Structure 1
Amino acid sequence: MINDRIKPQTLLSTLWAFVLFNMIFRDLHQLGKKSFIEEIMAGVVNGIKITDELMLFGGFLVEIPILMMLLSRVLRDNANKWANTVASVITLLVLVSALPTADMDDIFFMIIEIMAFLSIIWIAWKFSTPDTIQARS
């Protein structure tokens, strides 16, 4: 049923695109709530004041999946394993930090993204081989 001939790098890159689409759609999905638009207009969302620094932090956070789509394809195996793991853990921790203010749709997207992050970590570690062994082959 699952294509086992997909290169791990391609699968990792695709999973990062999947995470990014979920992050973007979750944010766009919130725009359907009248109260959300009112919060944005007031500059306070879920009790958090929207500042330039917070927007910059959000930019860094969304840049992680964008960067990992590229890095998953070009890094050597050992670097790929660590980059995917660190990026997943960082993004996962920020995602879980939103739990206190999460509503039902947030939790829905969070569960999907958590499964994707766990898959990314599992694939990165399962299919990586030391670069030195690969270089000799």
Structure 2
Amino acid sequence: MKTDGNSMNKIDAKILFSALWIFLAVNYIYRDILSNMEPGTLRGYLAGNVGEITITQGFLLAGALMMEIPFAMIFLSRVLKGGANRWANIIAATLMIIIEVGTMGFGTTPTLHYLFYSVIVIACNLYIVWYAWKWRNPENQPVTQPARAN
């Protein structure tokens, strides 16, 4: 297969967005798994609390809705047409940044691992917003990537 030097610098934006949402979902999940390993956390869950917050059906539904955003965006990034895809990514990533910042001290003081993952997911969401914003040709899928330094 013959390729020119520029073809390696193009990536389908839909694939990139979907991959970034997968990356985010895995980071959210693993952060929560590690949070469950903190001393006293499981005891609090069994008592029906997360820090000072009582676990209710509404609380669990809110958590499910928050986590459904990245899961839905994995799929939607692949199937939505250009302009709708661009705006869905901008809106979803902005919403996830707001949620992330808003939940930093929700119920308990953020731990080091929580802060570590928060920096990663905020940075990734910011990248999604930036990339979608600069995606000026959503109907023509490939977007030129910066050339890699050798």
* TM-score for the superposition, normalised by structure 2: 0.81
Distance 2:78 2:38 in 1: 38
Q: Which residue of 2 aligns with 1:54?
A: 59
Q: Does 1:96 align with 2:104?
A: no
Deviation at 1:47, TM superposition (A): 1.3
Q: CA RMSD in A?
A: 1.5
* TM-score for the superposition, normalised by structure 1: 0.88
Residues 106-121 of structure 1: matches in 2 within 5 Å?
A: 106-121=114-129
Identity across matched positions, percent: 35
Q: How many residues align?
A: 130
SS where residue 11 of structure 2 aligns? coil
Q: Does 1:43 align with 2:51?
A: no
Distance 1:72 1:122 in 2: 15
Q: Which runs of 4+ in 1 moved over 4 A?
A: none
Residues 30 and 130 of structure 1: CA distance in aligned 2, closer, same or farther (over 3 Å): closer
Higher-Rg structure is 2
More helix by percentage: 1
Distance 2:32 2:132 in 1: 28
Residues 66-105 of structure 1: matches in 2 within 5 Å?
A: 66-100=71-105, 101-105=109-113
User: Can you give the 5+ residue segments of structure 2 that lack an aligned partner in the other structure?
Assistant: 1-7, 141-150
